[in-house]
Amino acid sequence: MELSKNTITYIALVVALIVIAYLISVLHVFGSKTTTSSTTVQSTTTTPTTVLTTTSSSTTTSITANYVGPCNGFEISNGSFSATLTGHCMWPGGSLGLWSATGNAGRNFITVAGANGTVYFNASTFYNCTNFIRAIKMPPQEITVMLKTGSTESGSCGPAIAKFNTTTSGPLIIYKDVFNGAFSTGQYTGWNESGAGFGEAPLNLTWANAHDCYLGPSNNTVNAGWNLSSYSGTFVATTFTCGLTVSPGNLTSSLFNASEPFLDFKILSPDNAGLYVEVMYNKTAYITANYDTFNVTKYGATGTYTFRNASIPLVSFIGEPVSIRVVAQTLQRQTYIAVGDFRLSNTPPPDNVKPVALNSNNA
């Protein structure tokens, strides 16, 4: 039977469609295999060392660096007694304000050290509640802060705290009396130092006696030469360093309200224009007084080393905030000043030593 022309054309079209469909299916399978092969190739990237890993039921998150938080806003808190807590932070460089609270322990000890080996702060603080301590300038590095607490419940305000922020000056505080006027804390807490003259801390007179501090050519020790019965405290601010050398420096108290007409204190000083005590008002020296309680010759100090009572009138500043600045500007051998027991009084002591010079700029 002879097929018609239309029938042959129809059959050819059907065959062509079947062939095309087959080719498409073959290409699809081949393409799928190629794609699968490319996605299963393992990465050659090395996995970094994991420092901290947080694991859940389905995932593991890795932190690839030993993370240390920024120093701005850094804080450590310690509510235990006789305990030590250490923290770390990163600082890009510049000045940070150190703030502290001793809390219920009433005393703490803070050390601030850099990765460069420099110790930027290493002292006790005595403010129960959070207070500004000082501004610390440090180059970029990791900073370690160690906070030790006292052994007894002798304070208030809860846990001890050490913290940083970029507020590098504390709120203006005016005390009712001379803060740490007798240096009984064993530190210059509440006083600002300029220069190396007064050392890192007040001189412990008990320690000085036990170590036979050398006073001069006559081989006098503090015990033999200083009349310590005339001083009521244990610590004294002085440029005397248990040797022959002296360095210049200033020591400035916190602000206090001049609520009494006299500022009384103890002093040991030769007659020297470079050694004096000032009363500061509005950051300006208004009263300057220097004293003579022992003699100095070119061979060194001679005479009796007795702390004398001294008094500076504050009648012109009654009710006003003032501060004390002790100044040592001399480098003469054995020409040092020692002061302490600063306090306000209604009347000066009857045996107070008169100043060699008393200069007043307030009319």
- Provide the CATH number for the domain around residue 257: 2.60.120
Q: Residue 57: what pLDDT?
A: 34
Q: Residue 185: what pLDDT?
A: 80
Average pLDDT, the chain: 78
- Rounded to an integer, the average pLDDT of 321-328 is 96
Whether residue 30 is predicted with pLDDT greater than 50 in this model: the reply is no
51-65, 123-137, 309-323: range with highest mean pLDDT = 309-323
Residue 337 covered by a domain: yes
Q: Residue 214: what pLDDT?
A: 52
Whether residue 99 is predicted with pLDDT greater than 90 in this model: the reply is yes
293 and 231 Cβ atoms separated by less than 8 Å: no
Q: Residue 200: what pLDDT?
A: 83
Q: Residue 232: what pLDDT?
A: 80
Higher pLDDT, 51 or 282: 282
Is residue 113 located within the same domain as residue 247? no
Q: What are 33-42's pLDDT values in tens digits? A: 333 333 232 3
**How would you class 309 by CB atoms within 10 Å of its CB: exposed for 0-12, middle for 13-18, buried for 19 or more?**
middle
Helix (H/G/I), strand (E/B), else coil: 308? strand
258 and 317 Cβ atoms separated by less than 8 Å: yes
In 3D space, the residue among 221, 241, 355 whose CA is nearest the CA of residue 288 turns out to be 355
Gap between the Cα atoms of 323 and 258, Å rounded: 9
The three-state DSSP-derived secondary structure of 37-81 is HHHCCCCCCCCCCCCEEEECCCCEEEECCCCCCECCCCEEEECCC
Whether residue 354 is predicted with pLDDT greater than 50 in this model: the reply is yes
167-176, 299-308, 312-321, 326-335: range with highest mean pLDDT = 312-321
Is residue 210 located within the same domain as residue 254? yes
Residue 87 covered by a domain: yes
Residue 46 covered by a domain: no
Is residue 146 located within the same domain as residue 293? no
Is residue 218 located within the same domain as residue 298? yes
Whether residue 151 is predicted with pLDDT greater than 60 in this model: the reply is yes
Q: Residue 133: what pLDDT?
A: 86
Report the share of the chain in percent with pLDDT over 90.
44
Higher pLDDT, 27 or 202: 202
Is residue 98 located within the same domain as residue 149? yes
Gap between the Cα atoms of 95 and 114, Å rounded: 13
Residue 306 covered by a domain: yes
Whether residue 344 is predicted with pLDDT greater than 70 in this model: the reply is yes
Is residue 203 located within the same domain as residue 339? yes
Residue 229 covered by a domain: yes
337: which 2 tokens? 């000043």
Residue 21 covered by a domain: no
pTM strictly above 0.75? no
Is residue 208 located within the same domain as residue 347? yes
81: containing domain = 75-165
For 183, residues 6+ apart whose C-beta sits below 8 A from its C-beta are 202, 233, 235, 236, 237, 340
In 3D space, the residue among 277, 276, 355, 272 whose CA is nearest the CA of residue 322 turns out to be 277
Q: Residue 346: what pLDDT?
A: 96
Report the share of the chain in percent with pLDDT over 70.
72
Report the domain count for the chain: 2
Residue that is written with structure tokens 């004390």 in the block: 324
Whether residue 221 is predicted with pLDDT greater than 60 in this model: the reply is no
Is residue 112 located within the same domain as residue 215? no
- Provide the CATH number for the domain around residue 87: 2.60.120.380
Residue 47 covered by a domain: no
